[in-house]
Amino acid sequence: MRAALGLVLIATLLAGCGRPTTFVKTLIFLTREGCAVSDQLRTNLDAALRTLKTPVSYQVIDQATLASTDPRAAYPTPTLLYAGRDLFGLAEPVPPFPEPT
Tens digit of each residue's pLDDT (9 = 90 or more) over 47-56: 998 998 888 8
Per-residue pLDDT reduced to its tens digit, 16-42: 444 444 455 689 999 999 999 999 999
Instruction: State the chain's maximal CA–CA distance in angstroms.
Output: 41
Q: What residues contact residue 77 under an 8 Å CB cut-off, 6+ apart?
A: 30, 31, 32, 35, 38, 63
Domain boundaries, the chain: 2-86
Read off the pTM: 0.72
CB under 8 Å, gap of 24 or more: what pairs does 67-71 form?
68/97, 69/95, 71/97
What's 1's DSSP letter? Answer: -
